[in-house]
Amino acid sequence: MTQEEIEAAKSWVLYEDEAIIVLDKPAGLSSQGGRIKAHTLDDLLWAFAKPGKARPRLIHRLDRDTSGVILTAKTKPGAAFLGEAMMAKRFRKSYLAIVAPGAPEPQGGMIDSPLRRESIGREAYMRVCEPDHPDAETARSRYRTLASNGVAALVELSPDTGRMHQLRVHMGSIGRPLAGDSRYGGALMLGGGAVPRLMLHAARLTFPHPLGGERKITAPLPSDFKAMLEALDLAIREQSGSEAVEQV
């Protein structure tokens, strides 16, 4: 690893203690290896490895173009604890997304639509399907509108399940695909300008800590997301830095 890569990885730390490191993943960086042969967040975790010890372990993933909170464990027991907690649905995730055109109808609710995986060439897609489809996987997402106008809306999204591309497909299924999501029909131009990337940000993660209690970690909005909100005249109140980490 280069010194520049080490410094970049360390600049993404939102919270660290003896058991975990929580990072603010930038958009454009894959969580783990895929078809694209480039450095991934998993590779860059070597920046935090102690001499003679393994690097921290990723507990979950974010899509390449999604920014925000991602959790790692420093030890094997901590990773096992967190992995089991995630499987037991003890993690609570909150995302912010820009959708278009305008606010969804109704402006909040639950999307309970099973999904199935479909391969087209080397690409994998998720599709809404009937519950009795042989490949159907249960998928539930909650959403609520935070700000809107006739062009676009800022929504908060909370997945109850963790299917691939779940939030993206679910919002597309109700006619409000995420801005910048070329795979699932999202707008590529909004407010008179190009959408820079998939407008999805993992804003908050609440989870049980391996050493007891819970932590709630908040990642600030990245500059490209803020700029898009400003261009669309959509307002949001962000938490201050002192509120970024809570013990609950």
| One-character DSSP codes across 151-174 | S-EEEEEEESS--TTHHHHHHHHT
pLDDT for residue 242 is more than 70: no
Identify which of 216, 122, 228 has the alpha carbon closest to the alpha carbon of residue 178: 228
Calculate mean pLDDT across residues 32-44: 76
The number of helix segments (H) and strand segments (E) in the chain equals 5, 15
Q: Is 17 assigned a catalytic role?
A: no
Selected catalytic residue, list 24, 43, 63, 65: 63
pLDDT for residue 78 is more than 80: yes
CATH of the domain at 50: 3.30.2350.10
Cα(37)–Cα(109) distance, rounded to whole angstroms?
A: 39
* Containing structural domain, residue 74: 3-247
Cα(74)–Cα(13) distance, rounded to whole angstroms?
A: 13
Number of domains forming the structure of the chain: 1
pLDDT bucket at 35, cuts 50 / 70 / 90: low
For 170-192, write each residue's pLDDT tens digit.
Answer: 999 999 999 999 999 999 999 99
pLDDT for residue 36 is more than 60: no
Tell me how crowded residue 66 is: count the other CB atoms within 10 A of its CB: 25
Calculate mean pLDDT across residues 37-46: 85
